């Protein structure tokens, strides 16, 4: 029987080089893919941060206007309170000051970016934990502000407006059947309005402080992504 002679002269060096080339190629491809994903993630995070920043500036502008309007109204109400406390019912400013309680600030915060990042589940793209906490805290403060607005609005609808319909001629804010200015009920309504308005103003101020803190963190984050 003829024996088969095997040629075992294998070039192991060449095979090892080929294997190394394959490993290096896979590693480079993996690194490139990871790098591309990192760039994409960083770009998405930067877009969200820029959107939050722009939205924050808009909310600051609108909230500042609401605060300014409310503070102006409070000055009128404070003056009206002093007139009532001094029982100076002949003061000609009463009609104008009384009408101030019918005008209310209406703040409508923009929350589009928060809604988008929450719905997409991409909040984790923002790596800065402190920034994420401040974003959540700021947007939660909008809910508090709106609830304070609703409290004052409900008060006006429940107490101020019905009283006016019964006692005041809206064309010139004169009395219909009685001198409403001297009624204890009117005084109570004014005082109650002032308390709620003061709370609303405090809510605006607290909200603005959260916006300021968020603006600082967003600015710092933006600078990091620019580098």
Query: What tens digit of pLDDT does each residue of 54-80 get?
Result: 999 999 999 999 999 999 999 999 999
- Structural domain contains residue 30: no
- Structural domain contains residue 19: no
Neighbour count for residue 133 (Cβ, 10 Å)? 11
How far, in Å, CA of 113 to CA of 219, rounded? 16
- Report the pLDDT value the prediction gives residue 12, as an integer from 0 to 100: 62
- Report the pLDDT value the prediction gives residue 225, as an integer from 0 to 100: 55
More confident residue, 50 or 178: 50
Residue 189 belongs to domain spanning = 38-226
**How many Å separate Cα 124 from the centre of its chain?**
19
How far, in Å, CA of 42 to CA of 36, rounded? 10
- Structural domain contains residue 21: no
- Structural domain contains residue 138: yes
pLDDT in tens, 114-148: 999 999 988 888 889 999 999 999 999 999 999 99
Buried/exposed code over 11-41 (b: 16+ C-beta within 10 A; e: otherwise): eeeeeeeeeeeeeeeeeeeeeeeeeeeeeee
- Structural domain contains residue 13: no
User: Whole-model pTM?
Assistant: 0.80
Number of structural domains (the chain) is: 1
- Structural domain contains residue 201: yes
- Structural domain contains residue 27: no
Confidence of residue 17 (pLDDT cuts 50, 70, 90): low
pLDDT in tens, 24-48: 777 765 665 555 555 556 778 888 9
- Structural domain contains residue 191: yes
Confidence of residue 226 (pLDDT cuts 50, 70, 90): very low
């Amino acid at each position: 029987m003829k024996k088969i002679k095997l040629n075992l002269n294998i070039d192991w060096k060449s095979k090892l080089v080929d294997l190394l080339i394959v490993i290096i190629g896979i590693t480079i491809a993996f690194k490139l893919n990871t790098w591309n994903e990192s760039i994409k993630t960083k770009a998405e995070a930067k877009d969200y941060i820029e959107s939050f920043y722009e939205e924050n500036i808009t909310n600051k502008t609108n909230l500042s206007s609401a605060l300014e309007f409310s503070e102006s109204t409070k000055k009128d109400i404070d003056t009206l309170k002093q007139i009532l406390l001094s029982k100076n019912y002949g003061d000609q400013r009463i009609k104008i000051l009384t009408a101030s309680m019918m005008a209310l600030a209406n703040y409508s915060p923009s929350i589009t970016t928060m809604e988008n990042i929450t719905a997409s589940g991409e909040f984790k793209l923002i790596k800065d934990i402190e920034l994420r906490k401040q974003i959540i805290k700021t947007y939660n403060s909008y809910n508090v502000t709106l609830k304070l607005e609703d409290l004052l609005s409900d008060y006006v609808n429940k107490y101020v407006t019905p009283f006016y319909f019964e006692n005041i001629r809206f064309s010139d804010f004169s009395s219909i059947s009685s001198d409403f200015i001297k009624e204890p009920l009117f005084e109570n309504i004014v005082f109650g309005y002032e308390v709620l308005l003061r709370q609303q103003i405090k809510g605006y101020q607290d909200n603005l402080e959260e916006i300021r803190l968020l603006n600082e963190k967003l600015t710092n984050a933006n600078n990091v992504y620019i580098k």
